[in-house]
Amino acid sequence: MNAQQKWTAYYTILIREILRFSRIWIQTILPPVITTALYFIIFGNLIGPAIGEMHGFTYMEFIVPGLIMMAVITNSYANVVSSFYGSKFQGNIAEMLVSPVPNWIILAGFVSGGIARGMAVGAAVTMVSLIFSKLYIEHLFVMFTIGLLTSTLFSLAGLINGVYAKSFDDISIVPTFVLTPLTYLGGVFYSISMLPEIWQKISLLNPVLYMVNGFRYGVLGIADIPIWISYLIILGFIALLASFSMYLLNRGIGIRT
Amino acid sequence: MTAALAITNLRKTYDNGFTALKGINLSVQQGDFYALLGANGAGKSTTIGIISSLVNKTSGTVSIFGYDLDTQRELAKSQIGLVPQEFNFNVFEPVGEILINQGGYYGIERPIATERAERLLKQLGLWEKRKEQARTLSGGMKRRLMIARALVHEPRLLILDEPTAGVDIEIRRSMWEFLTDLNASGITIILTTHYLEEAESLCRNIGIIAQGQLIENTSMKSLLSRLDTETYVFDLVEPIQQIKEMGACHFELRDPTTLEVSYHKEDFSLNQIFAFLNQQGLQVLSMRNKTNRLEQLFLDLVEGNKA
């Protein structure tokens, strides 16, 4: 395939992915928006005033970046894992496997689909947050790149889950038992400086912390951890997961007999 | 001329230790209409899976129009269109989108893929369904959709794995006609089927796989010429109670107006049999071949291989 044909193949997968989650927007876009709005109402409006200020911001303002990031993470992951496993389950992954499209394009197409949904939901949640809070954007470039890279990372993670999944249970286990705890404990609702020292150190093992931290720095200009460490951790994980994803696709694990 | 498909010493052993292919050698010439037959589990689908890159081979080589599947993968894959046994499209996607997307995976730009999709959907009687989700199609329509999908990138080799399974006779006949026209246009076709009448009607050459080995690879004509026994059923005008013997020709009266005749082709001709029936004063209303001849041969060969 020449470069133009590869672009066409990539574009086809991306458009297919975007159409897929757009067609079922009631299942894909709306729920995270409603859930996040509830977080804003309960934690921000009702409980927030009792908590007081955090790093000079109201509690509502403090949790906005974390909640946007949580929506981006869960939706990027969910899009790729459900789409990839769905393709395996229905057998239509074969449409790509029999074609000459290289594996790295398949990977790029699915991951871009995950990013598209992550960003779409992230944007929708951001719009909702404006109803409840002012949005400060201290470092637009940092905010955008951390959001994009985090979405990429969790799209890759979703694809790996999709490759190994053998049933619909398998695609919900990781989000329920790994992703949600890591996100909740990743500083969405609190600053790790509030934790005892031992828990601060344990929290540093949670990769989600670096993403929430980086995004919050982009929005509010405050960070528990230096921003360059956030970039380094996210890029490191992307390199690792992308390499592993390529290995799985090249070997045909979970998709070829 | 380069073979459309050349397979050399193809072996496949699955992770559970089962050896599905035990060294298959096969060559299908360009423009051929080739039948690949075998009982369930014989190795047909594994062979097709390897050719279409859905199954990893253990060893051996596969080349398609001279392009090696290992070293010239993209070129080799571009030559093939696959119609798998099971429905394997996204049932929630609109019919037209399935074809356009499939074109996209082969690098065909959307406007061209859209034109081709329109032509194929019209040819296969699916144009009215183009905007409907694939799950709403009937079984026969789904089969035709898979054929259309396999053709959107204009492959030179079309592989059909039991394409008419579960479709009614009328649709099956129209699919036969469509495939015959495709073959006449120069597309090489490999077909697996359990309907041996289908293979006999459509295919010029035939391979039979049994227990992971290619036990027969010859022309349909040559294979059928090996049949030395014919059995016909005659419907008689007047009922009879019995009939005289005629040497080694075997008569069996199934009911008073139905006579079954079996004979070796080298011993008798149909003319002799009719002359004998005339002598007996019997008039034949109609006649038909009792069994599918290829079916009998197929069973003989597969059984022979087991022994």
Domain ranges of chain B: 5-224, 229-306
Q: What is the ipTM of this complex?
A: 0.85
Q: Quick one: average pLDDT of B34-40?
A: 87
Q: What is the pLDDT of residues A133-150, one digit of tens each?
A: 887 788 999 999 999 999
3-state SS of A218-242 is HHHCCCCCCHHHHHHHHHHHHHHHH
Hey, CA dihedral for B76, B77, B80, B86, is it positive or negative?
positive
At B291, is the pLDDT very low, low, confident or very high (cuts 50, 70, 90)? Answer: low
Structure tokens at B233: 């059923």
B154 close to A (CB below 8 A): no
Cβ contacts of B105 on chain A, cutoff 8 Å:
9, 12-13, 95-96, 99, 101
Distance CA B193, CA B159 (A): 11
pLDDT surpassing 70 at residue B27: yes
Q: Using CB atoms, pick whichever of B84, B105, B110 lies closest to residue A101.
A: B105
CA dist B168 and A146 (Å) reads 57
Going by pLDDT thresholds of 50, 70 and 90, the confidence category of residue B136 is very high
pLDDT band at B306 (very low <50, low <70, confident <90, very high): low
Mean pLDDT of B41-68: 91
pLDDT bin (cut points 50, 70, 90) of residue B307 is: low
Could you tell me which chain A residue has the CA closest to the CA of B84?
A94
SS (H, E, C) chain B: CCCCEEEEEEEEECCCCCEEEEEEEEEECCCCEEEEEECCCCCHHHHHHHHCCCCCCCEEEEEECCEECCCCHHHHHHCEEEECCCCCCCCCCEHHHHHHHHHHHCCCCHHHHHHHHHHHHHHCCCHHHCCCEHHHCCHHHHHHHHHHHHHCCCCCEEEEECCCCCCCHHHHHHHHHHHHHHHHCCCEEEEECCCHHHHHHHCCEEEEEECCEEEEEEEHHHHHHCCCEEEEEEEECCCCCCCCCECCEEEEEEECCEEEEEEECCCCCHHHHHHHHHHCCCCEEEEEECCCHHHHHHHHHHHHHHC
Q: Is residue A257, in this structure, part of any structural domain at all?
A: no
Q: What is the CATH number of domain B5-224?
A: 3.40.50.300
Query: Do the domain assignments include residue A81?
Result: yes
Would the CA dihedral through A213, A216, A222, A226 be positive or negative?
positive
Nearest to A150 by CA among A219, A226, A75: A75
Contact list, A85 vs chain B (CB under 8 Å): none
Cα separation, B116 vs B151, in Å, equals 9
Is A48 a residue whose pLDDT tops 80? no
Which whole number is the average pLDDT over A41-59?
82
| C-alpha distances in Å from residue B208, one per residue of B84, B164, B220, B223 | 19, 19, 11, 11
pLDDT at B18 over 60: yes
Question: In this complex, how many residue pairs, one in chain A and one in chain B, have their CB atoms less than 8 Å apart?
Answer: 91
Residue A24 lies in a domain: yes
Query: Does residue B169 surpass a pLDDT of 70?
Result: yes
Q: Average per-residue pLDDT in chain B?
A: 87
Q: What's the CATH fold of domain B229-306?
A: Alpha-Beta Plaits (3.30.70)
Q: Do B75 and A100 touch (CB under 8 A)?
A: yes
Cβ atoms of A203 and A195 within 8 Å: the answer is: yes
Distance from CA of B228 to the nearest CA of A (A): 42
Question: What distance in Å separates residue B196's CA from the closest CA in chain A?
Answer: 27
Token duo for residue A235:
């890029």
More confident site: B62 or B199: B62
CA angle centred on B92, ends A168 and B49, rounded to 5°: 70
DSSP-derived 3-state class of residue A139:
coil
Query: Would residue A233 count as lying in a domain?
Result: yes
Are A90 and B107 in contact (CB < 8 Å)? Answer: no
Nearest to B194 by CA among B167, B155, B222, B221: B167
A12 chain-B contacts, CB cut-off 8 A: 100-101, 103-105, 110
Can you tell me the distance from the alpha carbon of B33 to that of B157, in angstroms, rounded to the nearest whole number? Answer: 10
Residue B252 has pLDDT above 70, yes or no: yes
SS3 call for A29 = coil
Residue with tokens 């992550």: A118
Does residue A56 register a pLDDT over 70? yes
The pLDDT score that the predictor gives to residue B305 is 65
**Site of tokens 């006779």:** B169
Q: Of B288, B273, B275, B271, whose CA–CA distance to B233 is shortest?
A: B288
pLDDT-based confidence at residue B128 (cuts at 50, 70, 90): very high
Give A31's contacts (C-beta < 8 A, 6+ positions apart): none
Q: Would you call B90 and A96 a contact, using CB atoms and an 8 Å cutoff?
A: no
- Provide the shortest C-alpha distance from residue B298 to chain A (in Å): 29
Measure the CA–CA gap between B227 and A213, rounded to whole angstroms. Answer: 80
Q: How far apart are the first and last CA of chain B?
A: 38
SS3 (DSSP) at A46: helix
Which residue range is the domain that position A37 belongs to?
3-251
Is A162's pLDDT higher than 90?
yes
Q: Can you tell me the mean pLDDT for A199-203?
A: 86
Q: What pLDDT is stored for residue A12 in this prediction?
A: 95
Q: Is the pLDDT of residue B9 over 80?
A: yes
For residues A48 and A58, the answer to whether their CB atoms sit within 8 Å is yes
Q: Rounded to a whole number, what is the distance in Å from the CA of A65 to chain B's nearest CA?
A: 35
pLDDT tier at B221, thresholds 50, 70, 90: confident
- Contact between B236 and B282 (Cβ < 8 Å): yes
For A16-26, the pLDDT digits (tens) are 999 999 999 99
Task: Please check whether residue A109 is in contact with residue A184, taking contact to mean a CB–CB distance below 8 angstroms.
Answer: no
- Kindly state the tokens that stand for B298: 């197929």
Confidence of residue B34 (pLDDT cuts 50, 70, 90): very high
Residue B219 has pLDDT above 60, yes or no: yes
Q: What is the pLDDT of residue A110?
A: 96
Q: Structure tokens of A78?
A: 């969910």
B93-110 pLDDT, tens digit per residue, is 999 999 999 999 999 999
- Total Cβ atoms within 10 A of residue A76: 30
Structure tokens at B10: 């193809």
What per-residue confidence (pLDDT) applies to B293?
A: 63
What whole-number percentage of chain A has pLDDT above 90? 54
Percent of chain A surpassing pLDDT 70? 100
> Which residue is closest to B81 within chain A, CA to CA?
A98
Task: Mention every residue, 6+ apart, whose C-beta is less than 8 A from residue B226.
Answer: B297
CB of B12 closer than 8 Å to CB of B4: no
* Range of weakest confidence among A43-52, A218-227, B83-92: A43-52
Q: Give the β-pairing of B250-255 and B284-289.
A: unpaired
Q: Which amino acid is at A200?
A: Q
User: Which are the contacts of B2, defined by CB distance < 8 A and separation ≥ 6?
Assistant: B30, B65, B66
Instruction: Measure the CA–CA gap between B128 and A113, rounded to whole angstroms.
Output: 30
Measure B115 CA to nearest chain A CA, in Å.
Answer: 16
Residue A256 counted as domain residue: no
